[in-house]
Amino acid sequence: MDMQQLTLAEIARALAAKEFSASELSSHLLARIKALDPQLNSFISLTEELAMSQAKAADSRRAAGESGALLGAPLAHKDLFCTQGIRTSCGSKILDNFKAPYDATVVDKLAAAGTVTLGKLNMDEFAMGSSNESSYYGAVKNPWDLSRVPGGSSGGSAAAVAARLIPAATGTDTGGSIRQPAALTNLTGLKPTYGRVSRWGMIAYASSLDQGGPLARTAEDCALLLQAMAGFDTKDSTSVDQPIDDYLAALSQPLAGLRIGLPKEYFGAGLDPRIADKVMAVVEALKKLGATVKDISLPNMQHAIPAYYVIAPAEASSNLSRFDGVRFGYRCENPVNLEDLYKRSRGEGFGAEVKRRIMVGTYALSAGYYDAYYLKAQKIRRLIKNDFVAAFNDVDVILGPTTPNLAWKLGEKNNDPVAQYLEDIYTITANLAGIPGLSMPAGFVDGLPVGVQLLAPYFQEGRLLNVAHQYQQVTDWHTQAPSGF
């Protein structure tokens, strides 16, 4: 049996049937990571000892009669979720020596459900990027074509799951950083509603936009993970105290009567026409399952990128001010005074993209520019939210492409940050509005994966998972694996 080809749901059934133990599965995957990851660079740290002790504990719990869907299930965490006693680097030199003194709530919840942590995954530095090329630990490569990017910032998570090194991973999504890499690597990735998953212990980039979520091969696996990750957390002031739906029960609902909205703004200039064809093929498949389709408009979408690239850097400039070489993290050699310590520790510790965004954000928040930039961006954000609220009066989900283009070549957009920012055109509106979004596999163009995005009203993650699951029952895109892995 090829254990690495199993989904989380299949692993749960196999563990329950005693076809193999969690320890056997974990050691098999750890060996695979050591053998194959040098090609991909998807892991920053491998946590072998922790993994084997968690796997052994899961086996003991099963032997004692416990059963849980995630008991003994292996996964890995994006390297901005704090993990006690293990390096948590955020893909940055400035945190290369930082070992978190506690576990993030997401890590804690998944561990309580019995998952086995195999390691920490590579990412764009401080989650800033759409290609996973800004990491201090080097770029991650796309397993579908090693000369291309896997997307970002959760590129390590996406590449590791796509290459069958792990069945699932955690990611975070500030402007599309779960959904975009999921699309470029043939995965299902879910950004929950803002506040649905605790941000405590998740190192912040832009606090009003960041949201943790799962990356896996199927909607069913994402449902299993979200069930364990979601919930109110008293330690996170932005966490929402709202009951968690039964996401697995939602999967099997028929789609008869589902109203799908197609925004005309998604299909204009800038979208690769071959991706547009794949999107329309998904629409046809969903119609056969009983859905109806309606053309809609999101008129303020055109302002999303400028608004996002004022708000996110402004919050980053504030959040990243704590990395000053004083309390933890990287410190420059032999500073002459305090000012020198700050300047050189930050100058040497942060990479180019992070510095660029800190500068933009500090400028937007400075006296005389706050009203012109930051305040205006927040007003646009409200208009974008209102567009979605109005649209969801007429439709149940909104459907469109996840990305305007296929995975691009490594290095291709490094000299043009704005071209890279435009790759997030379809995903960032969900973060600005706080609504949930999901990307699912929808086929291939020239051997490269294409993703389709679904958006739903607040706290309707179950609906997104339901639509994706029903689509995955009649297609097999999500089962395709990159050759060589």
pLDDT digits (tens, 9 = 90+) for 272-303: 999 999 999 999 999 999 999 999 999 999 99
Residues 6+ apart with CB under 8 A from 164: 4, 5, 32, 481, 485
343 annotated active-site: no
pLDDT digits (tens, 9 = 90+) for 98-112: 999 999 999 999 999
Residues 6+ apart with CB under 8 A from 131: 124, 139, 149, 150, 151, 152, 155, 408, 410, 413, 420, 423
Task: Determine if the pTM surpasses 0.85.
Answer: yes
**3-state DSSP assignment of residue 250:** helix
- Residues of the chain with pLDDT below 50 are none
**CA–CA separation, 258 and 263 (whole Å):** 16
pLDDT of amino acid 361? 93
Choose the catalytic residue: 177, 198, 239, 317.
177
H-helix segments, 215-351: 219-229, 247-251, 273-288, 304-319, 338-349
β-strand pairing of 259-263 with 292-296: parallel
**3-state DSSP assignment of residue 451:** strand
Q: Read off the tokens for 460.
A: 């309707």
- DSSP-derived secondary structure letter, 245: P
483 annotated active-site: no
The full set of domains in the chain, from first to last, is 3-258+442-450+474-479 (3.90.1300.10)
Choose the catalytic residue: 42, 130, 153, 154.
153
Choose the catalytic residue: 23, 78, 154, 198.
78
pLDDT of amino acid 451? 97
130 annotated active-site: no
Q: Do 173 and 179 touch, CB atoms closer than 8 A?
A: yes
DSSP-assigned beta bridge partners for residue 452: 401, 440
pLDDT of amino acid 4? 94
Extract the runs of DSSP E, i.e. beta strands, from 284-402: 292-296, 397-401
